Structure 1
Amino acid sequence: MKTFQTIMDKITAVVDRCVSFSFWAAAVLLFFLGPIAFYEVVVRKLGHPTTWTFHILVYSQLFMIWFGVAYTQKVRGHVNVDIITRLLPLTVRIITRIFAYLVCQVISLILIWQSWVMIKRSYVYELMTTEEFLHPIYWLQIPTLIGAVLLFLVFFCQTYKDINWLFTREGSPAE
């Protein structure tokens, strides 16, 4: 049992590092998002709007959202409706949360599969973007797959931690 727990702890640590890296990638994109948007506002006001800034902003937001969603789940930063579950005993709350995580894992697996199908189709049919950049569209779809995989792994690790707490009662369950 200790060997399994050690392996799972190492997997959890690797997932945490990957998710933290994705957070910093999203933060860097956010850092560049502001100046680019500011530039577009100024040149548009001067009567010389550019076409490339809109697409860069959209692509940056796409990457930023999918890279940031797993980190937000890791730190439990999503809005929770827990007005009823807060009234339940701790063990029942943890069991309810495990069930919710399992449902989220299934949804994440569906998202992973559909993202893969979408990327594969775009690659096989050589689909290109329609704007002046004209590049393969699958590059813009890859963040969806990366984000879905990271999200699944975060839910998996959180499920493991809660199940481990139910059996060992070691530490305190994350709230």
Structure 2
Amino acid sequence: MVINPRALLVVATSLVVTASAQAAIVGSVCNFAWVRNGVVLEERNVICSALLPEYYRAVTTENGGYAAFSTDLSENTLTILSDVSGVQQFIPDATQTIRITLPTGVLVSSFTLAGVTGITGFAQDDLFFEGRTLKIRMNGNAFASGAGRIDMTFGYVPAPGAIALLAAGGCMGSRRRRG
């Protein structure tokens, strides 16, 4: 068996380029914020990890109890968990939004609400994008005491630079040597 080191390099390069194009969100820095009436209650930059998801928690005391939201963003899913204590249900009375800014160069092509548990009134209309920023409208929805959960999935296009590298890697692998 004859092993061609150049061919191995081409295959390895193609695999690395493909992996980096697919991993546009994992390993990138995203910004999470919980905004109430235009005032940021909590904001945090986090590195998204496939193995150890980053969570952020913001807490507000109103209605005699507290409400908190933790957010888990992975490669193409987003989960928001609510934690409500001290009241039967939490209905945000002001304009409250969870704002997630995705990494530069990630172009979101679709966003779908996959499931809602323990939250009344939450719908696809409560999700909207402004540029790279996903806004999740929380007001007007009733969060049950205990835990509510919102699951979302989205499709995205990697950064144009990653697509160019992917195409270059594919072209390198298609060359044949005559001899």
Query: Fold-level match, TM-score > 0.5?
Result: no
**TM-score (structure 1 length as normaliser):** 0.28
Q: Greater share of strand residues, 1 or 2?
A: 2
**TM-score (structure 2 length as normaliser):** 0.28
Q: Greater share of helix residues, 1 or 2?
A: 1
